Amino acid sequence: MSKDYVRPDGRLKNQLREFKVEVGVLDRSEGSAKVNLGNNMAMASVFGPREMHPKRLSRSDRAIVRVNYRMATFSVDGYKRAVPSRREKEISKVLSEAFQSVVLVKNWPRSVVDVHVEIFQSDGGTRTAAALAITAALADAGIPMRDLTGGIASGIYEDQVCLDLTGLEDMKGSGDMPILYSPAVDEISLFQLDGLFTYDQFKEAYESSLTGIKGMVEVIREALKEKYVKIREEFGVDDEDVSSDDDMSEEEVQLDEDESSDDDMSEETFEKPSFSAVIAKVDEKSETKKEKKVAKKSETKKEKKVDEKSETKKEEKVDEKSETKKEEKVDEKPKKKKKKKRSKKSSTELPDVDDEDDSWFTKPEEKDKEEN
């Protein structure tokens, strides 16, 4: 098919839906924005940066961007449960990670930037519509970012690469590819792909998405300008009220010059050092650093030597003590054994008696006679 292919809603292949942005729609948030992308309607509000609760989730070196993506129960055909679905949790996580790389989070350590996005009406591409609302709300809150980030989803419908898919095209199509892109820094913060694409189809969808996002970012920028123009008009600040230097009288100019001359310092007090003096100072600093390093190395070597000597002395003393104890034990053991043997002999020995001498033995008969 040719480039003149007409889609079901009457658009061409590379044509966007009607895109409107309104910032500052909520009073009780630091920043807010409402986005209409075709039949999609998304509203985002920003709170923070503020202290993280619970504190165990905070990071010591940066802030955390926490996105809460929700779809209203009346945003789709039929009825949707109020409990967050798996898809809503997934999109919340994906958008949080995407904007974590866009926001300058290192400006606020141990804090959090809470972003709440509500989809009031859904018609395909809700995550990209939510990303557009988040970008506008963050800018409205004054949160510094690397660039305004735009988002769009391309896909394949009836074998044609179409930009900014509707709900019907997303359901009946064979694939979709949502992208979040920052034109000024030329970086992609989110890239997802579902379905099958040929190389030519992928290239066409990618290029058309980037061109479409650039136009969306310009729309967001113009909406932010309109808000601050209205604020300026409310406070009655006009360009005519801003006085220029040309309109000042000669007396006022002379007074300003006199005040500036009093504030200026003389050249003598602040003389620029010569190049050679700067080099000499640098050389002195490098020499002092080298001397300090050498002194530290020598001290560490001396400490190591002292520690080694003390350890060797301790080991020698321990070895000597153990050897002396062993020798004493060896000497004591045989003496004790000899004493025991002698005692046994003394208890069992009988008096020396001649074999022929029977005087010591008395017969029983003689004993009876002696008793009588």
- Give the pLDDT of residue 305: 79
Mean pLDDT within 201-230 = 94
* 265-296: pLDDT as tens digits: 444 444 545 556 656 666 677 777 777 777 77
Average pLDDT over all residues of the chain: 81
What are 216-243's pLDDT values in tens digits? 999 999 999 999 888 888 887 765 554 4
The residue that leads in pLDDT, 121 or 240, is 121
* Average confidence (pLDDT) over 51-80: 92
Report the percent of the chain where pLDDT is more than 70: 74
pLDDT of residue 293: 78
- pTM over 0.85? The answer is no
Summarize the confidence of residues 66-80 as an average pLDDT. 92
Both tokens of 189, joined, read 């913060």
Q: How many CB atoms lie within 10 A of CB 9?
A: 13
For residue 267, what pLDDT is reported?
42
Taken in order of first residue, the domains within the chain and their CATH numbers are: 19-234 (3.30.230.70)
